[in-house]
Chains A and B, each alone.
Chain A
Amino acid sequence: YRKMATLSVCQPQLGGFSFENCKRNAVLEAEVTKLGCNVPSARKTGTTICGVVFKDGIVLGADTRATEGMIVADKNCSKIHYISPNIYCCGAGTAADTEMTTQIISSNLELHSLSTSRLPRVATANRMLKQMLFRYQGHIGAALVLGGVDCNGPHLYSIYPHGSTDKLPYVTMGSGSLAAMAVFEDRYKQDMEEEDAKRLVRDAIAAGIFNDLGSGSNIDLCVITKGRVDYLRPHDMANKKGVRTGNYKYKQGTTGVLTKSVIKLDLEVVEETVQTMDTS
């Protein structure tokens, strides 16, 4: 502790990321792999997320499975994150990274809109996200589909973990992005109606769910138009757990009762205590 205390004398303490343990972690990882065990992996959202621009606004869609290696960690996680009342963002990649990144950008956008006293624009959120992701050189594994409606109309961006962005009428991200993109490339038309757009996004996410192991469970949709946001969770339960058809329980009375004897145990109450649960 003496060294750490003296270090804090010379340099002022700053917040933010601390890289103190990186060397120790590298040494530990080498030791662990030598023994043959595995280092625990981060929880990813091997995912299908997509978005499409239609006549009056944006439809965003996402599946709801979160994986941890080969195991499903969360059967119903929410991948469409709130950024501002008119902007929502789907996140693929490391689950914690997408969650924290979208929360930080949402806070920054709120402060910014309070200071300009205007509804925030999608381009602002896009610029904040890409500058932050580039600053961390891709170590923050967050691939995002950002969509919203502002004073200039509907906008849809896709943002990659290293900080590059694309502004397109339809985008898909995640491990199931190829399956979803195949559906989009076949059936996308400019200026669709809302119902057509919702059906298209639902089919694209369903293609990702059924053809990609990393995506599954339900389909969430978010429809953003000028002045209205419909957050449909779940829009479609594509994978319902089946109901058991057979019943292996025996009926009452299957086994005949031959004799019955009742022995009464005399117990007296010695002590009674009540422990309240800490429900705060």
Chain B
Amino acid sequence: MCAPVIPRSLAKNTRGLRSQLKDSVPVTGMGPQVGAYGVQDTLRSGFSSVKNELLPSHALELSEKNFQLNQDKMNFSNLRNIQGLHAPLKLQMEYRAARQIQRLPFLQSSHLALDTLKGNDESISFEDILNDPAQSEMMGEPHIMVEYKLGMM
């Protein structure tokens, strides 16, 4: 469970990993997370390894990470073309207001208003069945999470 550095003994088996990923192109969305001062934030995200950061571990990883964002972008641009600029602006304003109705960051909030606005209350998908954040075995440090959210860190 420590930092993702591959020890020397397993480095020989990178061929196995490479041959599986040989069709994938290094993508920019997976780059090292830059913290303050433009360098890798070692304290927060551990040591970095180029192989881990550059290649996605699964073909669907990137597309799933950005799926909701891409859907929203597509829907908003459709709405703008059909109804005019006011429609996505108004909706985004409502989303921003509804997103603020939540508990402190380390507690589970229901996001009921946001879900109703987005229409997620009428559909079930893998986000609701697998990996439910309410059932996760790990809890974040409350002080650090609140400091991070308030921008004090």
Interface secondary structure of A, over-half rule:
helix
Please report the C-alpha to C-alpha distance between residue A18 and residue B33 in the assembled complex, in whole angstroms. 19
- The reply to whether B60 and A139 form a contact with Cβ atoms under 8 Å apart is yes
> Chain B interface residue count: which class?
35 or more
| Inter-chain contacts of B50 with A (CB < 8 A) | none
Chain A residues near B59: list those with CB within 8 A.
137, 139
Nearest A residue (CB) for B19: A30
Residues on the B chain within 8 Å of A33, using CB? 16
Minimal beta-carbon separation of B83 from chain A (angstroms): 22
Give, as a whole number of angstroms, the nearest-CB distance from A204 to chain B.
Answer: 34
| Chain A 1-39 interface 0/1 with B at a Cβ cutoff of 8 Å (1 = within) | 111111111101111111100110011011101100000
Question: B44 touching A111 by the CB < 8 A rule?
Answer: no
Q: B111: shortest Cβ distance to chain A, in Å? A: 10
Alpha-carbon distance between A22 and B110 when the two chains are bound, in angstroms: 30
Q: Which residue on A lies nearest to B6, using beta carbons? A: A27
Interface residue B136 (Cβ < 8 Å from any Cβ of A): yes
Q: Which residues of B contact A12 (CB under 8 A)?
A: 105, 133
A5 in complex: contacting residue of B56, B60, B105, B141, CB < 8 Å: B141
Are B132 and A15 in touch, CB under 8 angstroms? yes
Complex: A23 Cα to B16 Cα, angstroms:
11
Closest to B57 in A: A22
A18 to B65 Cα, complex, angstroms: 10
Q: In the docked arrangement, what's the CA distance between A258 and B141, Å?
A: 83
Among the listed A7, A15, A139, which residue makes an inter-chain contact with B127, where contact means beta carbons less than 8 Å apart?
A: A15
Is A115 among interface residues, defined by CB-CB distance under 8 A? yes
B131 touches A26 (CB 8 A): no
Asked whether A10 and B148 contact (CB < 8 A) given A22-B57, A26-B20, the answer is: yes
Q: Are B131 and A104 in contact (CB under 8 A)?
A: no
The verdict on A108 contacting chain B, using a C-beta distance below 8 Å, is yes
**At the interface, yes or no: B125 with Cβ under 8 Å from chain A?**
yes
A136 at the interface (CB under 8 A from B): yes
Q: Which residues of A contact B (CB under 8 A)?
A: 1-10, 12-19, 22-23, 26-27, 29-31, 33-34, 100, 104, 107-108, 111-112, 115, 132, 135-137, 139
